């Protein structure tokens, strides 16, 4: 069985440290036979949640028509795994990542049992808080976490290449996600069957 992982990252700096880690984990997952689709949230048209609350009547439905609804939501519903990567901004995730997180409110129950992974890059301080923000988002959706996440230490573009520990953690995260996706196939199959019964 070929697993499908969505990897979203939110950095406005192309070719930066976060993107390097994303490419590393994508390469490793590909070696493990996983299909991965990667999206830079900062290059997508994603509007803020407007709290219309209409999604309370129909899970998976969002009134905002943008790249979140047209591109990301359909893929998230089908995914076996989700990786969220972000630079550390003020001890938290970037604006692009936070927009994405807020817009998943309409997917309550539909991301259950997806295997999650988090990666952040920062100068040192605030990294654990950023990882915690991503993990809290995933646990809110009852996703499955089995790894503490990848914390990279870098500031100037390209510095992450010298963080051997972060690169090792990327491999560990990829291996652990595949292990968990294999162990939880049945749980996600049940989620997709229930999700297909929703009305939009």
pLDDT digits (tens, 9 = 90+) for 146-180: 999 999 999 988 899 999 999 999 999 999 999 99
pLDDT band at 124 (very low <50, low <70, confident <90, very high): confident
- For the chain, the helix, strand and coil percentages under 3-state DSSP, each to the nearest 5: 50, 20, 35
Architecture of domain 4-195: 3-Layer(aba) Sandwich (3.40)
* Predicted local confidence at residue 197, as pLDDT: 41
Q: Residue 108: CA atoms inside 13 Å, Cβ hemisphere, count?
A: 12
Q: How far is it, in rounded angstroms, from Cα 59 to Cα 110?
A: 8
pTM exceeds 0.75: yes
* Predicted local confidence at residue 193, as pLDDT: 54
Q: How far is it, in rounded angstroms, from Cα 61 to Cα 54?
A: 8
The pLDDT tens digits for 46-94 are 999 999 988 888 878 899 999 999 999 999 999 999 999 999 999 999 9
Rounded mean pLDDT, 120-138: 95
């Amino acid at each position: 069985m070929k697993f499908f992982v969505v990897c979203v990252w939110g950095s406005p700096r192309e070719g930066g440290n976060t993107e390097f880690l994303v490419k590393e984990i994508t390469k490793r997952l590909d070696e493990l036979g996983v299909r991965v689709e990667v999206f830079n949230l900062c290059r997508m048209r994603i509007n803020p949640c407007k709290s219309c609350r209409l999604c309370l009547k129909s899970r998976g439905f969002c009134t905002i028509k943008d790249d979140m609804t047209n591109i990301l939501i359909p893929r998230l519903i089908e995914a076996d795994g989700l990786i969220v990567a972000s630079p550390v901004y003020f001890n938290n995730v970037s604006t692009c990542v936070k927009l994405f997180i807020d817009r998943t409110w309409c997917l309550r129950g539909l991301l259950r049992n997806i295997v999650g992974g988090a990666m952040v890059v920062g100068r040192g301080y605030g990294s654990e808080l950023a990882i915690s923000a991503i993990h809290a988002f995933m646990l809110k959706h009852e996703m499955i976490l089995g790894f503490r996440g990848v914390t990279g230490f870098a500031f100037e573009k390209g510095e992450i290449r010298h963080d051997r520990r972060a690169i090792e953690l990327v491999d560990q995260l990829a291996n652990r996600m595949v292990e968990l996706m294999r162990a939880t196939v049945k749980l996600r199959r049940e989620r997709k069957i229930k999700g297909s019964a929703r009305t939009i």
